[in-house]
Amino acid sequence: MIPFYETPPHTPNVEKSKQGLNNRSAINNSEFVTNAISDLLETHCVLPCTEQPYIVNPLSVSVQKSGKRRLILDLREVNRFLWKLSVKYEDMRTAMLYLQKGGFMFQFDLKSGYHHISIRTEHQQYLGFSWFYKGAFTFFKFTVLPFGLSTAPYVFTKVVRPLVQKWRSEGKQIVVFLDDGLCYAESFQKAREHSAQVKVDLVNAGFVPNVQKSTWDPVSETEWLGLIIDLKNGSLVLPNRRINSIKERIQELLITPKSAGSSTCVKVKDLASVAGCIVSSYLVVGSMSRVMTKAMHCVIESRNSWNSKVVISEQANEELLFWLHNIDNLKEIPIKLTPMCSTMVFSDASKNGFGGYIVNVNDSISHGQWSENERKHSSTWRELKAIDMVLASQINMFKNTRVKWFSDNQAVTRIVCKGSMKSDLQSIVLNICRNCVRNGVFLELEWVPRSKNEKADFISKLVDYDDWQTSDEMFSLLDHMWGPHTIDRFASYYNSKLTRFNSRFWNPGAQATDAFTQDWAGENNC
């Protein structure tokens, strides 16, 4: 039964032509459509009609990049009149609750899963379509649940749910997403026993397992829902084909000839495809998939239509380059993440500067003063920049660690996790992400009230009135007379004369703090 809240309007008389009402994708794949209809007729999933059905829907063909095609009944008009039904789907996140390093698993796929469910006879008239079949214009109607009905995933999930409940009551650690199932067990023997029982239950319930896509023999590594589960190493991995696909699509966008205004114009569908591929990898790459596609989505939203072209902004270009150069470093995560953070950091920003420190670590204070231009930015910008600067100042302390970072600005904790539509904020987030990826830092942001962040607040308000510097001209003269100098012993990130320098507090690029505790031997100090 189709859950209508209102009866949809009747389709006017359809002109009996070869194209009918069908979409271009179906017409361009006419041979495939004809063969698919023949298969559906053979299994009684569709029936020919002696007269025009109440609604005649267009046919579409979904073509994957691999070349695989699927016949879709375009039910957009019908779906407008259906109740919106929600259901909680299980996916890889559910599976990760069960999976353990060293275990075994098997998976199964149901052949034409939706077609196992019959449609009430009176409602089949809403699932009609037409096709020029075997030399004659013919009307058909679906007798089973078709691909394209908005309530189909809900219905199918509800039908399979009793089986899942039965298996779990028997102690089986199993997850089913629509027609794809995965079962985990601690040992090979136990997994094999569960495999045999699940297979029998599916057949007894009337389902037909897909032999080609099912792996009934227990394995320690398999691909499920587009991700590789490796129980030997206890990790979740993006398949190389997905990584290569993303990189190839990005390269195609980046080499697109520039327009007269020296900006790159691309098809909005191509950019949306890249952004979608990245976001769909969120289980492995984490919140980075949302943060580092914000500028792309801003460009996509500027489109006139889905058939138009858009100009890739500078920030969107930076995001594309980020994924091109870093996705190989983000392709794998442990199935069980370490629950505890090994390092805790507090940071804050004031009108004068930024400050931060690592909890329970001596000599871990980071501090710097804002320039005149930086002081003019919003408090959110300064707080976000403070995180960027403190992270860069002590990046060697954070390498390959899970860091809990506390800030008293709620907006900042959200922006670091999700990105920002404001270009000046997003550029800082981009820098933070680059630093984390290059150094293996897993950052967790959490808001704390200002009363819990007093030390970082105090540090950010420090002003060094003795922070003098030599002019570049004078330093060049001195360096010519007594140089070349090798290290600047009393400097900061904004006034150092050499790439190697010591500072009072930790700054980005500082080699050490407190020059008087360092060994000056073998250096030409200044």
Going through 299-421 in order, the beta strands assigned E by DSSP cover 309-311, 332-334, 343-349, 353-358, 366-369, 402-407
User: 101: exposed, middle or buried (C-beta count within 10 Å: 0-12, 13-18, 19+)?
Assistant: middle
User: 396: exposed, middle or buried (C-beta count within 10 Å: 0-12, 13-18, 19+)?
Assistant: exposed
Nearest-angstrom CA–CA distance, 357 and 346: 6
The whole-number pLDDT of residue 323 equals 92
346 — pLDDT class (breaks 50, 70, 90):
very high
The mean pLDDT value for 15-42 works out to 86
Going through 178-226 in order, the beta strands assigned E by DSSP cover 180-185, 215-219, 221-224
Task: List residues bridging with 49 in a β-sheet.
Answer: 139
Above pLDDT 90, what percent of the chain? Answer: 41
Torsion of CA 127, 131, 135, 138, to 10 degrees: 30
Higher-pLDDT residue of 340, 313: 313
* Alpha carbon 26 to chain centroid, angstroms: 31
Mean confidence (pLDDT) of the chain: 88
For the record, the structure tokens of 392 come out as: 């860069």
The mean pLDDT value for 312-341 works out to 84
Do you know the residue count of the chain? 526
pLDDT tens digits for 350-404?
Answer: 999 999 999 988 888 999 889 889 999 999 999 999 999 999 999 988 888 888 9
| Across 146-150, 208-212, 261-265, least confident range | 261-265
pLDDT tens digits for 261-272?
Answer: 556 788 888 899
Buried b (16+ CB within 10 A) or exposed e, 372-392: eebeeeeebbbbbbbbbbbbb
Nearest-angstrom CA–CA distance, 405 and 387: 9
Rounded to 5 degrees, φ, ψ at 473 are -65, -45
pLDDT surpassing 80 at residue 440: yes
Above pLDDT 70, what percent of the chain? Answer: 97
Amino acid present at 324: L
Question: Peptide bond preceding 484: is omega within 30 degrees of 0, i.e. cis?
Answer: yes
pLDDT surpassing 90 at residue 465: no
260 — pLDDT class (breaks 50, 70, 90):
very low
Nearest-angstrom CA–CA distance, 509 and 490: 13
**Domains in the chain, start-ordered, CATH in brackets?**
24-87+115-142 (3.10.10.10), 92-114+151-233 (3.30.70.270), 240-334 (3.30.70), 343-460 (3.30.420.10), 472-517 (no CATH)
Identify whether the C-beta of residue 512 lies closer than 8 Å to the C-beta of residue 484. Answer: no
The whole-number pLDDT of residue 303 equals 86
pTM (2 d.p.): 0.76
pLDDT surpassing 70 at residue 18: no
Question: Is the alpha carbon torsion for 206, 207, 212, 216 positive or negative?
Answer: negative
Question: Is the alpha carbon torsion for 463, 466, 472, 478 positive or negative?
Answer: negative
The mean pLDDT value for 318-328 works out to 90
pLDDT surpassing 90 at residue 500: no
Torsion of CA 243, 248, 250, 254, to 10 degrees: 150
Residue 408: which of 481, 348, 324 has the closest Cα?
348
Residue 396: partners with Cβ closer than 8 Å, 6 or more residues away = none
Residue 422: partners with Cβ closer than 8 Å, 6 or more residues away = none
For the record, the structure tokens of 226 come out as: 């587009």
SS3 236: strand
Amino acid present at 416: V
The whole-number pLDDT of residue 337 equals 67
Identify whether the C-beta of residue 355 lies closer than 8 Å to the C-beta of residue 462. Answer: yes
The whole-number pLDDT of residue 198 equals 94
Rounded to 5 degrees, φ, ψ at 494 are -100, -5
pLDDT surpassing 60 at residue 259: no
User: 393: exposed, middle or buried (C-beta count within 10 Å: 0-12, 13-18, 19+)?
Assistant: buried
Task: List residues bridging with 60 in a β-sheet.
Answer: 72
pLDDT surpassing 80 at residue 200: yes
Task: List residues bridging with 357 in a β-sheet.
Answer: 346
pLDDT tens digits for 22-33?
Answer: 888 888 888 999
Identify whether the C-beta of residue 198 lies closer than 8 Å to the C-beta of residue 174. Answer: yes
Amino acid present at 524: N
Q: What angle do CA 84, 87, 91 make, to 5 degrees?
A: 135
SS3 240: helix
For the record, the structure tokens of 385 come out as: 């920049």
For the record, the structure tokens of 307 come out as: 């058939």
| Across 3-7, 218-222, 345-349, 408-412, least confident range | 3-7
User: 395: exposed, middle or buried (C-beta count within 10 Å: 0-12, 13-18, 19+)?
Assistant: middle
Measured CA to CA in angstroms, residue 506 lies from 36, 87, 502 at distances of: 67, 51, 9
pLDDT surpassing 70 at residue 494: yes
pLDDT tens digits for 95-106?
Answer: 998 999 999 999
Q: Strands 215-219 and 180-185, how do they pair? A: unpaired
* Alpha carbon 443 to chain centroid, angstroms: 16
Identify whether the C-beta of residue 312 lies closer than 8 Å to the C-beta of residue 253. Answer: yes
pLDDT surpassing 60 at residue 423: yes
Nearest-angstrom CA–CA distance, 381 and 383: 6
